[in-house]
């Protein structure tokens, strides 16, 4: 892949991630005071790290990029981005806790999980961990979705 194209792709993907963090930050401002602390901290950290990365990519000359030893895995990029989009949409309807299954399962498939049965178990465990951590341990009520009274 040409170095100039690689740099443009890296900048474009960085801007996409920055936009996601900015959107989540803006949406998080509408949460009640106590439950919004953690999402806003994660969003601010994500904005800072993504901004730092973008600045370093823009400053780096295109010739510094090394030719990758293997081709870019577009399947993984499309599947992980698609699972993020499906996660966002399903969060609106089914809430953050249940929708975490989708993001874990989708990204697991995207990055080469071999055993689908194990992936389902890990994704279900992620739902349980999210519920236990936020709802039970931290007493933070995550968005339940419109199906469950949100």
Q: Over the stretch 63-105, which tens digit does the pLDDT of each residue have?
A: 655 666 777 778 888 888 889 899 989 988 888 888 899 999 9
Q: Give pLDDT, residue 129.
A: 92
What pTM did the predictor assign?
0.57
Q: Which of 109, 90, 112 has its CA nearest to residue 99?
A: 90
Hey, what are 102's tokens?
A: 């989708």
- Name the stretches of the chain with pLDDT < 70: 1-3, 62-68, 150
Does residue 124 contact residue 100 with C-beta atoms inside 8 Å? no
Max CA pair span of the chain: 54
Asked if 126 and 101 count as a contact pair (C-beta separation under 8 A), the reply is: yes
List Cβ neighbours of 130 (8 Å cut-off, separation of 6 or more).
Answer: 96, 97, 100, 142
């Amino acid at each position: 892949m040409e170095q100039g194209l690689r740099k443009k792709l890296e900048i474009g993907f960085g801007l996409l991630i920055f936009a996601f963090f900015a959107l989540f930050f803006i949406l998080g401002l509408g949460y009640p005071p106590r439950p919004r602390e953690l999402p806003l901290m994660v969003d601010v950290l994500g904005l800072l790290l993504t901004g730092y990365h973008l600045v370093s990519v823009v400053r780096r000359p295109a010739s510094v990029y090394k030719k990758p030893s293997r081709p870019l895995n577009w399947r993984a990029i499309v599947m992980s981005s698609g699972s993020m989009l499906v996660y966002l949409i399903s969060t609106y309807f089914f809430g953050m806790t249940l929708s975490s299954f989708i993001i874990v399962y989708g990204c697991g498939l995207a990055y080469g999980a071999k055993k689908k049965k194990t992936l389902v178990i890990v994704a279900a465990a992620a739902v349980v961990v999210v519920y236990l951590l936020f709802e039970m341990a931290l007493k933070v009520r995550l968005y339940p979705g419109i199906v469950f009274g949100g």
